[in-house]
Structures are given as structure tokens and as C-alpha cells.
Amino acid sequence: MGWSTHHPFGLIYNAPHSCYQGYTLITTTRGNCYSNLIDMEGRVCHRWYTAEGINYSYMLPNGNLLLRTSPPESGLSAGMGAAAVAVLELDWDSNVVWECRLPMLHHDYQRLPNGNTLVLLWEPISEELTAQVQGGFKTDDDPIRMLGDVVKEVTPDGTVVYEWRSWEHLDVAEAVICPLEGRKEYTHQNSLNVTNTGDLLVSYRQTSTVGIVDKTSGDFRWQWGPGDLSHQHNPTFLDNGRVLVFDNGPHRRGVSYSRVVEIDPETNEIAWQYMGDPPISFYSYHISGAERLPNGNTLICEGAPGRAFEVNANKEIVWEYVNPFNSEDGSATGSGPNVYRNALFRAHRYGVDHAGFRGKDLDPGRYASLNRMYSGK
């Protein structure tokens, strides 16, 4: 799991009076068919299952699970990071109640207040634009047409009612790929969220850029990151108008380290940030995320090593957990730098008063044998 075999897993630390009390949703990425809901003691209280695989998921207000399945075995997106065959909605008992099966789905999705769902897809850009894109290292296997990112809004019956193609609103002189990244994709959008006004909040790993897109016009209202961010993930829009971002940091000049930053789009100034002490003690090359909790704390997912932890406003760790659940098939086993057996794309915390928990059985005793097996004790 990235440390010695003697390193603890499961619950590492819990300061009950300082935490936001609730349940944390974790899903081991790659080759996994379960999402686990754990309590503050690290005990599984509920599980969702689908044979199609679950590589990332989050809960809806009604207690259903919205998830991204395992990747396709063939086609243009086969072998691509965070590709998916479908986005599924499961009820509490793991029955499929809604699905989206558009080709080239990847990474992220967002259920909207009107019941529609935003999804993220790849689509080949033109040969002409591919030739104009700057940056990235070239290989003999580079495609004639790079893949670009598309956002679509889908109704419950599957009708596409909105499309936004990122490259139509990007300036190739400014949207330059990191020289240490390849040229199979242009931007590699790894996050799709919305602001309090319904505009799109996006994240481009290849160009280390986050931005807010006016959903009506399609134009960018704000872009920030090159020179400040390094291959970030999971920007979210906060109630105070700022944006919280997990800044992964793999290609910084000097030491590689991760941090979480709260940026003010009006001034581009960092209002708050969390770093490890020393900085290299907190690092995830890819995936990962952070979310601001209702009590002002921040839940951070250090994705590659499968670590989720909660910090308060003073940056003190008040809860810490290392995912004990490894990938269930051979896709994430073996050896090498790209193997992350217990990796988490993101983690989410839901308060004890979450509407989706009403009338639900959250007794960890139902999973007593599972909890004993993975307690780390």
C-alpha cells in the first residue's frame, strides 16, 4: 500500500470533539466493485455493489449512489485514465435506477438541481488544431487527432440538451501542455463541478489550469493556475465565492509536494492553504481531492496512497484513515510506479443528519466480519 507492511491502515486517528461527525464514502479505484460508507471509527456501515465496477462515486440527497464504472476494454478510450463505460445511479440496495452510456465517458459527472446530469466525455479534435497545440513531449505514437474534452447535459430519459466543447473556447497560445506530459490528449479535464450560479467549474491537468465557464455563452469568466498549480484536481466552489483546489504538484521546480489551496477568483490570491510538515510528507502524484465541511474543517483525499484525513482551520489533523481495501482484480496488482492498490479518486463526508440516511440501517455490526478483517488492529 505504499508503505512498509507494518504501516497501520484503517482508522489512524480520531478527535471526536473536533471533527465533523458523519459517514465517509470511499471507493478503491481500479478493479473494484464496491463503495464503502464508513463511520468515524472506520467501520463499514453500508456497501453498494455493481458487477460493472465502481471507480468513483458520491451520494445524492436521496441516499442513492452516482458512480463511474470500470473502463471499456476496447475503443479510443481503452487504457485511458479514468475512462468509463457508464455513469450509473444505484439505490440503497444497489439496484440500477438510472444510467448514461454515452461513448468516451471519463472522470467526473454532476447531478443538477433540475434532475439532469452533467457528464464529461472525450472527442477527437481536428488535425489542424492538433498541429497548433503547443507543448507536451512527442512520440511516434502520437495521434493525428488529439482527444479534447466535452461537457454534456443529459436529461433523465437520456436526451442531450446541452454541449460545450472546451477547445472552441481555449487560446492555444495560452493553453500550453506541460513539457513532461504526452500529446494523446489536449487538456485532460479531471473535474466537472458547478458554481452557485450554475456555471461550469473545470480543471485541466495537462495545462495546470482551473476555470469558470459561463454556461450560457460558453466563454471563460476566469482562468488561473499556470505557474501556480501543478496538475491539480477537484476544484469546488465554496459558499464564500472562493475555489478550493487539490494542487498535486508532481512537476514543480524543485521538491514535489501536494497542497490544498483556497483561491479567490476576484483577486487570484490564496486565502488559505494546507501543506504537509515537511512538505514532502503530503503528496499524491495524481487523482485526489478536498472538500470544505459544514463546520469549517476540510476533508482531504491524498489519493495515490489511499489516505483520507480531516484538518481544522488551523491545519491540525483531527481525523485520519488509510484505505485498507485493495483492488479486487489484476488491473492494479503487480509492481511498478503506476500501481496503487488502495488508491482513492476522492472521498466524501456526509453528516449524520443527511437526508439520505433517514430510515436506513447503518449498524456496523452487519459487517462485523468485514470490519474485523480490515480494522488494521
Domains, the chain, with CATH or none? 10-373 (2.130.10.10)
pLDDT band at 340 (very low <50, low <70, confident <90, very high): low
Please report, rounded to a whole number, the percentage of residues in the chain having pLDDT higher than 90. Answer: 92
pLDDT tens for each residue of 243-259: 999 999 999 999 999 99
Whole-number pLDDT of residue 181: 97
pLDDT at 268 over 50: yes
* Arithmetic mean of pLDDT, 306-327: 96
Per the model's pLDDT, the better-predicted residue between 190 and 329 turns out to be 190
Whole-number pLDDT of residue 334: 41
pLDDT at 149 over 50: yes
Whole-number pLDDT of residue 1: 40
Please report, rounded to a whole number, the percentage of residues in the chain having pLDDT higher than 70. Answer: 95
Whole-number pLDDT of residue 126: 98
Whole-number pLDDT of residue 363: 98
* Arithmetic mean of pLDDT, 82-97: 98
Whole-number pLDDT of residue 325: 95
Average model confidence (pLDDT) across the chain: 94
pLDDT at 333 over 80: no
Exposure string of 46-82, with b = 16+ CB inside 10 Å and e = fewer, is bebebebbbbbbbbeeebbbbbbbbbbeeebbeebbb
Q: How far apart are CA 329 and CA 322, in angstroms?
A: 20
pLDDT band at 328 (very low <50, low <70, confident <90, very high): low
pLDDT tens for each residue of 7-44: 789 999 999 999 999 999 999 998 899 999 999 999 99
Q: Could you give phi then psi for residue 335, rounded to 5 degrees? A: -140, 170
Residue of 225, 189, 222, 194 lying closest to 206 (CA atoms): 189
Provide the residue type at 230 as one letter: S
pLDDT band at 6 (very low <50, low <70, confident <90, very high): confident
The CA-CA-CA angle for residues 289, 256, 260, to 5°, reads 30
Whole-number pLDDT of residue 184: 97
Whole-number pLDDT of residue 7: 79
Q: How far is CA 207 from the centre of its chain?
A: 17
pLDDT tens for each residue of 185-194: 999 999 999 9
pLDDT at 178 over 70: yes
Q: How far apart are CA 359 and CA 185, in angstroms?
A: 45
* Arithmetic mean of pLDDT, 114-130: 98
Whole-number pLDDT of residue 374: 84
Whole-number pLDDT of residue 261: 98
pLDDT at 336 over 70: no
pLDDT at 116 over 50: yes
Q: How far apart are CA 164 and CA 168, in angstroms?
A: 8
Q: Could you give phi then psi for residue 351, rounded to 5 degrees? A: -65, 160
Q: How far apart are CA 241 and CA 236, in angstroms?
A: 10
Whole-number pLDDT of residue 3: 61
